[in-house]
């Protein structure tokens, strides 16, 4: 029996794999459970193992990971003959071997004959990311199941700082629940690291609000954390561009869910961006984006020192025109 488990949420993928193991009574430590990595294993060995009957059990499981030969990329360890062996095996649909293709991306090359063959002879489990409400509910339940509680605003702040992957979220939840049984906004600020993009967005806010002292405080913190000025110039520009796009789409009547989908962004982070950026002018944003683009060119062509260039920009944005010398 052939199965394909693929997607981008590793925890949900692992849960699906565990469900298959449970269904066919496969134990992790059993000699009838074998995982192969395509970059380290020959297809001949994999297929030979798949054709070998299980030992003292009804089923065996073969899990094939990192199958780049199913994507547009090339797999150095696989030649055309190897791929043909794989395709020849699939129609056999061996009833005693649970053959699982496990791929943590969504980039199968549907033009390839091998993928078309796989589609024909395998059952596909497409593991999609949870939407905003599912993620909120799953995270809240994970915290509750550990005997903890979390304030609503703290949960929203937590999710705004996390990727939309349950595995990473689960690991952070464990850390929070070890620290306290009642999670607040203060707990999140203390224990959950802000992403660089969040700090940069706060810096962008300070710039747009002409808060020079706050701008420099955030800037210095970022530099102390080994962030390069050249990278910060680009990230500030990206943050302002994102804010511009959000405001433009909002003006056109798109709702939060549609905007998050169009811009491929964390829906909880979007809520904070909309809240904190509602008073900024579109023309002003475009002017700052253009100035940052010019600064980026000036730094990269050696016309100005990277530190001095960014610091002068911060001073000018704060209304200190005398620094523009």
Cross-strand bridge partners of residue 5: 102, 125
Average pLDDT over residues 23-27: 88
Residue 292 has a pLDDT of 94
- All CATH 3.40.50.300 domain ranges of the chain, comma separated, are 2-127
> Following CA atoms 15, 20, 26, 29 in sequence, which dihedral angle do they give, to the nearest 10 degrees?
-30
Residue 324 has pLDDT above 60, yes or no: no
Query: For all residues of the chain together, what is the average pLDDT?
Result: 89
Radius of gyration, CA atoms only, the chain: 26
- 132-191 carries CATH number 3.40.50.2000: no
Residue 57 has pLDDT above 90, yes or no: no
- All CATH 1.20.272.10 domain ranges of the chain, comma separated, are 196-323
Please tell me whether residue 227 adopts helix, strand or coil conformation.
coil
| Chain centre to alpha carbon of residue 240 | 21
Residue 84 has pLDDT above 80, yes or no: yes
Which tens digit of pLDDT belongs to each residue from 139-196? Answer: 999 999 999 999 999 999 999 888 777 778 888 999 999 999 999 999 999 999 888 8
Residue 83 has pLDDT above 70, yes or no: yes
Three-class HEC string of 150-219? ECHHHHHHHHHCCCCCHHHHHHHHHHHHHHCCEECHHHHHHHCCCCHHHHHHHHHHHHHCCCHHHHHHHH
Residue 321 has a pLDDT of 43
Fold of 2-127: Rossmann fold (3.40.50)
- All CATH 1.10.8.60 domain ranges of the chain, comma separated, are 132-191
Residue 274 has a pLDDT of 83
Q: Which CATH class is domain 196-323?
A: mainly alpha
């Amino acid at each position: 029996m052939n199965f394909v488990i693929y997607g981008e949420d590793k925890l949900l993928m692992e849960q699906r794999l565990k469900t298959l193991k449970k269904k066919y009574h496969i134990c992790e430590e059993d000699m009838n459970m074998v995982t192969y990595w395509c970059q380290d294993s020959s297809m001949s060995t994999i297929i030979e193992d798949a054709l070998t009957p299980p030992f003292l059990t009804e089923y065996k499981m073969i899990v094939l990971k990192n199958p780049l030969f199913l994507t547009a990329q090339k797999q150095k360890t696989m030649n055309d003959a190897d791929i043909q062996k794989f395709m020849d095996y699939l129609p056999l649909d061996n009833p005693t071997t649970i053959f699982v293709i496990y791929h943590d991306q969504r980039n199968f090359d549907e033009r390839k004959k091998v993928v078309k063959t796989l589609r024909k002879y395998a059952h596909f489990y497409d593991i999609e990311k949870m939407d905003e409400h599912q993620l909120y509910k799953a995270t809240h339940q994970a915290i509750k199941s550990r005997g903890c509680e979390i304030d609503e605003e703290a949960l929203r702040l937590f999710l705004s700082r996390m990727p939309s992957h349950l595995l990473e979220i689960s690991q952070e939840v464990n850390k929070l629940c070890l620290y306290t049984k009642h999670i607040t906004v203060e707990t999140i600020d203390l224990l959950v690291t802000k992403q660089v993009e969040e700090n940069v967005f706060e810096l962008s806010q300070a710039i747009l609000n002409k808060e020079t002292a706050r701008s420099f405080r955030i800037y210095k913190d970022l530099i102390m954390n080994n962030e390069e000025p050249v990278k910060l110039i680009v990230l500030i520009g990206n943050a302002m561009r994102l804010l511009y796009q959000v405001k433009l789409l909002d003006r056109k009547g798109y709702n939060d869910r549609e905007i998050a989908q169009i811009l491929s962004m964390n829906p909880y982070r979007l809520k904070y961006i909309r809240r904190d950026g509602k008073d900024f002018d579109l023309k002003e944003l475009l002017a700052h984006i253009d100035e940052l683009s010019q600064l980026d060119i000036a730094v990269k062509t050696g016309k100005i020192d990277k530190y001095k260039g960014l610091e002068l920009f911060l001073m000018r944005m704060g209304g200190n025109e005398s620094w523009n010398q």
